Amino acid sequence: MKIEDVILKYALLNAKQYGKASEDAVIKKVLAEIPEAKREMKLLLEEVKKVVSKVNSLSKEEIEKMISGLNISEIKKEERKELLPELPEAEYGKVVMRLAPFPSGPLHIGNARMVLLNDYYVKRYNGKLILFFDDTIGSEEKPIDKDAYDLIKDGLDWLGVKYHEVLFKSDRLEIYYKYAEELIKMGKAYVCTCSKEEIQKNRRLGIECSCRNRSIEENLSLFKEMLDGKIPEGKAVVRLKTDMKHPNPAFRDRVLLRICEREHPRIGKKYRVWPMLEFSWAIDDYLIGTTHILRGKELVIEDMMEEYIWDIFGWRKAKFIHYGLLRLKEEGAKLSKSKTRKMIERGEIKGWDDPRTWSLQSLRKRGFQPEAIRNFVLKLGLSEADVTLPTEILYAENRKIIDKIAKRYFAVLNPIKIKLDYKIQKISIRYHPDFPELGLREISVDPEEIYVEKEDFEKMRGKNVALIGMFTIKLDEISSFVSNEVPQEVPKIHWVSIPNVRIKIIMPNGNEKEALAEVSVKELKEGDLVQFYRVGFCRLDDKKTLTFYFTHK
């Protein structure tokens, strides 16, 4: 690279980072890259001065534009301390990627990996991200849900994923027909009228069926009959001519399109011939200019199909990058999307944001922060290994963020009433022992009516305990004052006096818990995060009924 370009590069990057480029900083960078420039120091200084002053006269947008035009691999190194490896052959400003959600329900925590990795790389390379709804007809077992389109967008917005364009497979049927016809004309695809069983058997045995030898004209007219509704569902498919002796039986003359009369939730009954996913992707990835495809490592046959079709047409190829499956241990108990839909229809759960679904909406309701999910996913990296992680790892990421903002309140789940033999009217207590900036509140105390956890009472009756924020007592039905001192070794228990309020806490398994809480919780706004002593973090979801969702411990 010429020295002028190196100077320009660092001037632009410096200006981008700090608003204005500094001559000293640029000189340092240039010398680090080209030490021999020292020999012509005077020339270097003049050139830097000129370039820096020029760059500093540019607008932010112009600088961005020039940086993306530079197309220099070093730029990437300069701008990031990256968690994840480079994408192969990625050019700054030219990366195109796509998200391909199947709209059978909202995105859940398992999908977050796919979504955030794509978003991460597109942002890293200043590329383009296309939200491409993978809504071919689906199947009986995995139908499309009309609400899922909006739910998916809502989840992406919440996560802070920036997509630049939205496309729908269901808008593009004519495109797939056109390319299928081309493949037929090239002698690379044919209409097969064998039964499903025959196709399977032939595939297993590596036998070509007689359909494979149909003339192009015959194939074209049969394809037209498929489209025109003259051939019933299940009686014909379009197959790609790969090789009926291919070592992978699944790859032997795969199906490209089939007939399906089912109504599509978005476009109704307008079309009856539907492409298989990998055929549609082979076409679309080319047409939208996808440069990199992040894909679950189990989808190797999809790679093969796409490459095979790209080769036939002589198209430029996208790069595949594979990653392993991410599962959370406790998520194992989660509801499937089809089961959730049925339960919603039957009114057994309230909706897609029920905590048992592990949807992004449900995590939001529980009080997860999108940044925590992002950190969790990106820290896992881009490994091909399947990982099953304890939910605690996700919780720990979230806790780091919310611990500083969640005020602590008293709530007693299984209250048992005690009295105090001591006159006290109110106390003043911090909202968080470690963060005084969260402030103080006053709590009224009636010595005749104090509630503590039944469990604590039974375990520690007759012993010295401290009521948090008050003093040490000897715990009993009538507890006697011991001391204002609270020694380290004395157990500290939470409590509620009067006035108090009843609250509801919805647990991740859908169970509801009731509790008696200090009246100060009425100050909270919907969406506020709190921490109830011993219970854990919760998010206020409904102020009227004081319903909270449990976040985690």
Candidate list 194, 240, 326, 540; residue touching Zn ion; CB under 5 A: 194
For 263-292, give the DSSP string: PBTTTBTS--EEE-HHHHHHHHHHHTT--E
Name every residue whose Cβ is closer than 8 Å to that of residue 329 and which is 6 or more positions away in sequence: 388, 389, 390, 391
Query: Per CB under 5 A, which region of 30-38, 161-169, 186-194, 261-269 contacts Zn ion?
Result: 186-194
**Which x/- pattern over 282-301 shows residues binding Zn ion (rule: CB under 5 A)?**
--------------------
Q: Which is nearer to Zn ion, 208 or 303 (CB)?
A: 208
Distance in angstroms (rounded) separating the CA atoms of residues 205 and 200: 9
Give me the residue label for tokens 């190196």: 6
Q: Which is nearer to Zn ion, 93 or 249 (CB)?
A: 249
Query: Checking DSSP bridges between strand 319-323 and strand 292-296, what pairing results, if any?
Result: parallel
Q: Which is nearer to Zn ion, 253 or 456 (CB)?
A: 253
Nearest-CA neighbor of 519 among 455, 418, 446? 446
Q: Which is nearer to Zn ion, 56 or 221 (CB)?
A: 221
Query: Per CB under 5 A, which region of 58-66, 193-201, 221-229, 376-384 contacts Zn ion?
Result: 193-201
Q: Does 192 bind Zn ion (CB under 5 A)?
A: yes
Number of other CB atoms surrounding residue 90 within 10 Å: 19
Distance in angstroms (rounded) separating the CA atoms of residues 374 and 529: 19
Q: Which is nearer to Zn ion, 192 or 546 (CB)?
A: 192
Contact in structure between 355 and 366 (CB atoms under 8 Å): yes
Contact in structure between 109 and 366 (CB atoms under 8 Å): no
Q: Does 240 bind Zn ion (CB under 5 A)?
A: no
Q: Is 498 helix (H, G, I), strand (E, B) or coil?
A: coil
Tell me which residues in 210-239 interact with Zn ion (CB under 5 A).
211
Q: Does 256 bind Zn ion (CB under 5 A)?
A: no
- Check the CA dihedral 209-212-218-220 and report its sign: positive
Query: Per CB under 5 A, which region of 146-154, 205-213, 278-286, 429-437 contacts Zn ion?
Result: 205-213
The first and second tokens of residue 301, run together, are 């046959």
Q: Which is nearer to Zn ion, 192 or 227 (CB)?
A: 192
Task: Please give the angle made by the CA atoms of 537, 543 and 545, to the nearest 5 degrees.
Answer: 100
Q: Which is nearer to Zn ion, 205 or 478 (CB)?
A: 205
Query: Per CB under 5 A, which region of 100-108, 204-212, 215-223, 245-253 contacts Zn ion?
Result: 204-212
Nearest-approach distance from CB 212 to Zn ion, in angstroms: 7
Nearest-approach distance from CB 262 to Zn ion, in angstroms: 23
Tell me which residues in 362-391 interact with Zn ion (CB under 5 A).
none
Q: Does 15 bind Zn ion (CB under 5 A)?
A: no
Query: Per CB under 5 A, which region of 31-39, 49-57, 187-195, 255-263 contacts Zn ion?
Result: 187-195
Q: Which is nearer to Zn ion, 201 or 417 (CB)?
A: 201
Nearest-approach distance from CB 254 to Zn ion, in angstroms: 13
Nearest-approach distance from CB 194 to Zn ion, in angstroms: 3
Query: Per CB under 5 A, which region of 208-216, 269-277, 412-420, 446-454 contacts Zn ion?
Result: 208-216
Distance in angstroms (rounded) separating the CA atoms of residues 507 and 111: 23
Query: Per CB under 5 A, which region of 201-209, 455-463, 511-519, 543-551 contacts Zn ion?
Result: 201-209
Q: Phi-psi bin for 416: left (phi > 0), alpha (psi -120 to 50), beta?
A: beta
Q: Does 209 bind Zn ion (CB under 5 A)?
A: yes
Q: Is 98 helix (H, G, I), strand (E, B) or coil?
A: strand
For 398-428, give the DSSP string: HHHHHTTTPEEE-EESSEEEEEESS---EEE
Q: Which is nearer to Zn ion, 194 or 486 (CB)?
A: 194
Q: Which is nearer to Zn ion, 209 or 259 (CB)?
A: 209
CA distances for 414 relative to 332, 411, 513, 514, angstroms: 29, 9, 10, 8
**Which x/- pattern over 42-71 shows residues binding Zn ion (rule: CB under 5 A)?**
------------------------------
Nearest-approach distance from CB 253 to Zn ion, in angstroms: 9
Residues that bind Zn ion (CB under 5 A): 192, 194, 209, 211
